[in-house]
Structure 1
Amino acid sequence: MTSTTPKLHMSNWICCQIGAREHYSIPRALHENGQLAHLITDAWFTPQSPFGVLPFSPTTALKERFHPTLQQASTHAFNLSLIRFEISQKLQKTLAWERMIARNYWFQKQAINRLKKLAPQLNTRPILFSYSYAALELFRFAKQQGWLTILGQIDPGPLEEKIVIQEYQRSPQYRGDWEPVPTSYWQTWREECELADCIMVNSLWSRHLLEKAGINAEKIQVIPLVYTPPETAKNFSRTYPESFSPERPLRVLFLGQVILRKGIAAVLAAVEKLEGYPIEFWLVGSQQIEIPPHLKTHPQIRWVGHVNRSETAQYYQQADVFLFPTLSDGFGLTQLEAQAWKLPIIASRFCGEVVVDGVNGWLLDEVSGEAIANLLKFILQDTEKLIKLSQHSADLNKFSLATLADSLQNLVSEKFHVAKTNQRSVYQ
């Protein structure tokens, strides 16, 4: 009896993703290398689309749901359905986690309906890629068709949440409106991991926490995030004063969500230990914690709040050191953004591997106010070290789209024993 299962081919990837995660890096790398069959996403608005500039909230960010390098790709989206979904959720006043879970299921239902129409057109066995927490129904469908599945794990999973819960227990004064995810969320995720033939994580830290959570280590593959520096950063020259003073303090930049998982409690503890020192903290990002009144008006803190991605460059340029004391991150893309502007980093060890201790920044032995304060005092005494670290920024070629394309080819050839393609002209 002859098997009717289509054979696997490198050029038959189907990518499913909600939003513009990682600037569509996975489908972009595949498309530029001739390996993307279809991109299925929730919204896709060309620059000419009138919906991308509508003033009401469901579409405020929709103008970013597009990438010019994918203009010729086979792209499928559900624009009007998404707008109707977001409006209905707003009218129902659903809670944040309820809305996120509902959106994940809405997207998978739409995507499966489209996959049913596309399946008869496929003459080779596809690889279905989807990001975590919005993959279960897609993987169930894919397995029924005999397809291969790759899960893009966006964070370190349930053990990261345990870390966050412990931090809230230590720092209840910052709680705000944070709530843990429902138990069903992690049950769904474990089913996704079971159905995945391969699980892509972005750092050794994520791999470590997934293995501790009981995920099959043989399935896990580490592939870092991708980042393309802006042209204006390539010739940027960073300067430092001979010494810092009240008139020209050391500018410490924290850029990201102002939440406990990002280590903000330790940052604010460091501020209080450094009162009177010529150090200024710039906190850039949406504030999702309760901030004590004395810190809201602290003379050494500049509360900037949320800024658009296009506005972040000015803060990287003007800062002296970047502070990334996360308690847990799948990677931490802001590290690459900071390095593009030759900005030394103070980072924790619980994220992507960007900082080499003493070469382009410092790694904290622990995330605490005392550890951060002590390191900043050291920097005040040795500004020459900042100059040297600025001159040894990370090699961002390791995080390029070309490197990602190679990694995806290696993943498929090693995990699924498929010969690599010769379609490399785009990088030659």
Structure 2
Amino acid sequence: MYRNVTVACMGSRERYSLPVALNKRGALKRLFTDIYIPYSVSSKLRNVSKNSAIKAFLNRSHEDLPCNLVSHKLLLGLMFRRKVRSAKNLSDRQDLLINYGSRFASFVSRSMPRSDLVLGYTGQALEFIDVAKNQGSRVFIDQVDPGLHGWQVLKAESEKYAGWNNQIFSWSSDFQKRVENELIHADTVVVNSHYSKKCIDAWIGENKSVILPIPLTIQRKERLEINNKRPLRLLFLGGASIGKGIQYAVIAVHNLLQKGYEVELIIAGEMLISCEKLSNYNGWFYIGSVASNDIPSLLDSIDVLLFPTLSDGFGMVQTEAISRGVPVISTMNCASVIEHGKSGFVMNELSIECLQNYIIRYHNDRELLKEHSRGAFIRSQEFEFNSYIKKVSEVLSISD
């Protein structure tokens, strides 16, 4: 059993859910990260700025993570954020993570306190694994996506939809080697879903992964009124990419409009595909990236979330949607958040026709939409933060 845990993570990862959960159990020894803003500062400025990038920057804080428990490398984080935004493809982003991830891991290794358990994330942990083990710590590595298998799936899809990507689709072999080294040398690998566990176990050839689902990061709110009059409003939230299945959503909505159905699609998030290709289709509206604290109001304005992902470690947008009573049309290539026929629909096989059919069911049957909205809200109870704290304690063997 472990009494204290050190977490090392570039970025905020589900709004710092893991270190916050550990801190609430009195088990957080230290959080190492790149950018961290004192909550006393960010809470005052967050609602002043309307710029989404500034809002995202100010969100790098949490009221339940006091600064005395956090060590950060601000300049490193700022440089990484600036360069990763200008990266032209996945391989470039991965190479940036090799550079900045190794520098971050070296920073952690020089300052790491003695802990029972050290938990890091793939791409940013290799340099401190041996240091932690030499101190007598166990090392857990969190693999946030399906890894090599996921890339192979996305590569095949990008070839199928040639011309949609506005980025060159490639994979860094050096990054792959780095991640493999981290996964192999870790004592335990943490994944977010059964889907990821299957992919990672097949990749590294060892069955040493454990599942820790992602919790809700926004406040739950039951939906009291259902849209019975206006067109069915659909939302695609997150990076608009081939991997997330934006092509299926756009084509499905276009086809339904051609058939006389009243539907509209809102796209929110970073645009990662060709806008020229999108212009061939009707019925979609792009509103740009959305700051995390603006997501609840966006979800409250739509009827159904479309999540036709090809490969996702979890798919946190699913929990965000159901927490606001929004049914989701999802796939089997992610965490099993949606209960088919209760809180949405899960496509056994991803296809434009299948997606259209489920959209039509909501379009034609608003009582079904109401029933699934209620089911979504009830389902979201399973992902509340108190449940997550208990799961963290079980998976990481945290003692009282």
Same topology, TM > 0.5: yes
- Out of 209, 221, 226, the residue aligned to residue 199 of structure 2 is 209
Residue 60 and residue 101 in structure 1: after superposition, are their counterparts in 2 closer, same or farther (change >3 A)? farther
Distance 1:201 1:85 in 2: 25
Contact 1:344 1:386 in 2 (8 A): yes
**2:98 maps to 1:101:** yes
- Out of 7, 12, 16, the residue aligned to residue 4 of structure 2 is 12
**Given residue 117 of structure 2, which amino acid in structure 1 is its aligned partner?**
I
Contact 1:46 1:63 in 2 (8 A): no
How much does 1:135 deviate? 1.4
1:19-40 CA distance string (max 9 Å, x none):
1111111111111101111111
Residue 185 and residue 282 in structure 1: after superposition, are their counterparts in 2 closer, same or farther (change >3 A)? same
Aligned counterpart, 1:221: 210
Aligned counterpart, 2:291: 308
Q: RMSD in angstroms over aligned alpha carbons?
A: 2.9
How much does 1:224 deviate? 0.5
**Given residue 238 of structure 2, which amino acid in structure 1 is its aligned partner?**
G
1:71-124 CA distance string (max 9 Å, x none):
165211122454467679999999433323211112111111112xx3xxx4xx
Distance 2:20 2:263 in 1: 41
Counting only pairs closer than 5 Å after superposition, residues 221-260 of structure 1 correspond to structure 2 as 221-230=210-219, 233-241=220-228, 248-260=230-242
Contact 1:273 1:369 in 2 (8 A): no
Residue 45 and residue 380 in structure 1: after superposition, are their counterparts in 2 closer, same or farther (change >3 A)? closer
Contact 2:120 2:140 in 1 (8 A): yes
How much does 1:347 deviate? 0.6
How much does 1:228 deviate? 4.1
Contact 2:120 2:141 in 1 (8 A): yes
Aligned counterpart, 2:249: 267
How much does 1:47 deviate? 4.2
Distance 2:316 2:84 in 1: 30
How much does 1:261 deviate? 0.5
How much does 1:374 deviate? 1.9
Aligned counterpart, 2:139: 149
Residue 379 and residue 63 in structure 1: after superposition, are their counterparts in 2 closer, same or farther (change >3 A)? closer
Counting only pairs closer than 5 Å after superposition, residues 397-408 of structure 1 correspond to structure 2 as 397-408=381-392
**2:362 maps to 1:379:** yes
How much does 1:262 deviate? 0.4
1:245-289 CA distance string (max 9 Å, x none):
xxx211111111100000112112213321232111111111111
Distance 1:100 1:214 in 2: 20
Query: Is the deviation greater in 34-43 or in 266-275?
Result: 266-275
Contact 2:195 2:313 in 1 (8 A): yes
How much does 1:398 deviate? 2.3
- Over the matched positions of the two proteins, sequence identity in percent amounts to 26
Counting only pairs closer than 5 Å after superposition, residues 257-336 of structure 1 correspond to structure 2 as 257-274=239-256, 275=258, 276-292=260-276, 295-296=278-279, 298-336=281-319
Aligned counterpart, 1:66: 61
Residue 266 and residue 102 in structure 1: after superposition, are their counterparts in 2 closer, same or farther (change >3 A)? same
Distance 1:411 1:91 in 2: 37
Contact 1:226 1:400 in 2 (8 A): yes
Query: Is the deviation greater in 103-112 or in 371-380?
Result: 371-380
Contact 1:238 1:342 in 2 (8 A): no
State the TM-score, normalizing by the size of structure 1. Answer: 0.83
SS of the residue corresponding to residue 362 of structure 1 reads strand
How many equivalent pairs are there? 391
Larger Rg: 1
Counting only pairs closer than 5 Å after superposition, residues 16-27 of structure 1 correspond to structure 2 as 16-27=8-19
**Given residue 264 of structure 1, which amino acid in structure 2 is its aligned partner?**
I
Residue 362 and residue 99 in structure 1: after superposition, are their counterparts in 2 closer, same or farther (change >3 A)? same
**Given residue 40 of structure 1, which amino acid in structure 2 is its aligned partner?**
F
Query: Is the deviation greater in 134-143 or in 358-367?
Result: 134-143
- Out of 382, 388, 391, the residue aligned to residue 371 of structure 2 is 388
- Out of 66, 73, 76, the residue aligned to residue 71 of structure 2 is 76
Distance 1:91 1:256 in 2: 18
Distance 2:87 2:283 in 1: 42
Query: Is the deviation greater in 324-333 or in 77-86?
Result: 77-86
SS of the residue corresponding to residue 321 of structure 2 reads helix
Residue 97 and residue 301 in structure 1: after superposition, are their counterparts in 2 closer, same or farther (change >3 A)? same
Contact 1:336 1:354 in 2 (8 A): yes
How much does 1:145 deviate? 2.6
**Given residue 195 of structure 2, which amino acid in structure 1 is its aligned partner?**
W
Distance 2:243 2:369 in 1: 27
**2:394 maps to 1:421:** no
Distance 1:339 1:17 in 2: 27
Contact 1:365 1:371 in 2 (8 A): no
Where does structure 2 lack aligned partners over 5 or more consecutive residues? none
Distance 1:304 1:164 in 2: 25
1:305-358 CA distance string (max 9 Å, x none):
222222222321121111111001111111111111111111111111111111
**Given residue 71 of structure 1, which amino acid in structure 2 is its aligned partner?**
P
